[in-house]
Amino acid sequence: MHYYTDVLKKYAVFSGRARRQEYWMFFLFNLAAAIIVAVVDSALGTYPLLYAIYALAVLLPGLAVGVRRLHDTGKSGWWLLIALVPLIGGIWLIVLMATEGQPQPNQYGPNPKAVQA
């Protein structure tokens, strides 16, 4: 759970690097929370309202952790836009997000594994 809250604490921090674990755990918790909010929203009969509020609330943290994840692999945050290319772009972005980060410091900062270890 701390992976989710850590990303929310860095609400709009687009600099630095994020480990694979940080990104994917945020993704997993965010997906679960979105499903729960959608179910509750549907049960209350206000379907798009609560879900839309939640989606807007986590939009910036999601983008920020994605950019930091790309920084860990040595790529610019602009690579997130590759997802706009139909089919292949989304697949390539998943590959980039799953790729291990650079073990040495890069232009975006020190290795987050070395800092936490």
Summarised one tens digit per residue, pLDDT across range 88-111 is 999 999 999 999 999 999 999 999
> What are the tens digits of pLDDT across the range 34-92?
999 999 999 999 999 999 999 999 999 999 999 999 999 999 999 999 999 999 999 99
Q: What are phi and psi of 26, to 5 degrees?
A: -60, -45
Q: Measuring CA to CA, which residue among 79, 81, 69 is closest to residue 108?
A: 69
How sure is the predictor about 114, in pLDDT bands with cuts at 50, 70 and 90? confident
Type and span of the H or E element at 25: helix 20-44
How sure is the predictor about 115, in pLDDT bands with cuts at 50, 70 and 90? confident
Q: Measuring CA to CA, which residue among 53, 57, 25, 29 is closest to residue 40?
A: 53
Instruction: Reduce the DSSP state of residue 43 to 3 states and report it.
Output: helix
pLDDT of 116 over the 60 cut: yes
Domain range annotation of the chain: 2-112
Tokens of 34: 């979105």
pLDDT of residue 117: 54
Predicted TM-score (pTM) of this structure: 0.93
Cβ–Cβ < 8 Å for 101, 17: yes
